[in-house]
Structure 1
């Protein structure tokens, strides 16, 4: 059987790409029980855990999830579900930081993540103009940075980011992108980011929550956690 150089190169590149990705997942109180150790044993190395919403809601499972993830050896961090219509970005960053969203350069804590998406009970963009939304996100991001020395990751999808920020590229050089697209590939990257740092590729993960993939190797994931 003939085996061309190009075919061999394709296989090598595919192997490199497969190695340069780390499985993870994200969870909230909707996952009452999570098999953290099972996830770790299967190859997962990180988890992002819901901590807060707005300035009045703390996820009741956050502490349990955070402790369980830590005990299993997972790199972990918190996320905040944004309510841009209810208070300033800075106020919500402060609330997030006060209730689990902090960061320290210990190598096992991810920078906090700001979850930007629509909810059915609200207007798609929470009634804000694209410029007002960008300003709101910047307010959150800048406050988080001023208090931790790290910019938060931004979770969003192509449709929301395009509609609600005008596909702004204001965060390309500061905030890692967590891209939500439940598909076989990340697809079009919004906002001028050259690539996604983490890709939420499915709303179902065998050990609980949604499936996330870090766009790099384990050393890169540790660098993200270390600053």
Structure 2
């Protein structure tokens, strides 16, 4: 965490709970260490669709961790077992937290889920949203409060907090201009790890359970995606960002 702060992080969001029976074994230590370095520490719950039961479970642990009512509480809406339209149960969850005095709430999800209406922002009881969209120059959802722009900031996810909804500190989005490979061939992973996605849209909704570690070599084909490129491998798509992979050997053909 000290190193993340040196790299520019203003705060952390810690996974606390999931469903109605999971508590992250790292949460207590992460929260304690987070408060030693940052002004605020937020927590999130990974949601499986049971609004009241999950809100009760989450809030019980929020209180056991000694987190007060100023704490940012996020609901992470991305689980594959959720119904297509999940807004109503998200609202049940949010209402429970708000009714118990925890009003700094925010809803997290993939840009594709917000744009498809799976999470209907206009119907949310609290309109604050935290959008995940990777490998692009903007979150792709109008007026997002926060944008998780990468899943590989020195090995962890990282977000821009536009108006202070996550950390209390507004940030200006100034992503480094990325450079992409556009060649077919053999690539080597040069960052800690690179995640694999089922589609060229590199967002949480398409993320697979596999990844390539540093030093891995992968054969792939460059695929144009908007103004950038992805590398299509036998197991899915990876980023063609030159900060993540390097071309070891170029191959001919399209």
- Shorter-chain TM-score range: 0.5 to 0.7
Residue number in structure 1 paired with 2:217: none
**Partners of 2:153 and 2:84 in 1: how far apart?**
35
Q: Larger radius of gyration, structure 1 or 2?
A: 2
8 A contact 2:139–2:147 mirrored in 1: no
1:195 to 119, 123, 143: 143
How far apart are the structure 2 equivalents of 1:210 and 1:168?
A: 23
More helix by share: 1
Instruction: State the distance in 1 between where 2:119 and 2:127 align.
Output: 17
Please give the root-mean-square deviation of Cα atoms over the aligned residues, in Å.
2.6
- TM-score w.r.t. structure 2 length? 0.58
C-alpha contact 1:179 1:186 (8 A) present in aligned 2: no
Indicate the SS of the match to 1:222.
coil
Select the structure with the greater relative contact order (CA < 8 A; seq sep ≥ 6): 1
Is residue 20–residue 54 contact of structure 2 (8 Å, CA) maintained in 1? Answer: yes
| 1:175 maps to which of 114, 127, 133 | 127
What is the count of residue pairs matched by the alignment? 167
Give the gaps of 5 or more residues in structure 2: 171-254
Q: Alignment partner of 1:148: what SS?
A: coil
Cα drift, residue 99 of structure 1: 1.2
Distance 2:165 2:132 in 1: 23
Is the contact made by 1:50 and 1:79 (CA closer than 8 Å) also made in structure 2?
Answer: yes
Distance 1:135 1:142 in 2: 11
Distance in 2, Cα, partners of 1:103 & 1:168? 26
- What does 1:39-118 correspond to in 2, within 5 Å? 39-84=4-49, 88-100=50-62, 102-105=67-70, 109=71, 111-118=72-79
Q: Hey, what's the Cα distance between the residues in 2 that align with 1:61 and 1:166?
A: 29
Q: Is the 8 A contact 1:103 1:112 kept in 2?
A: no
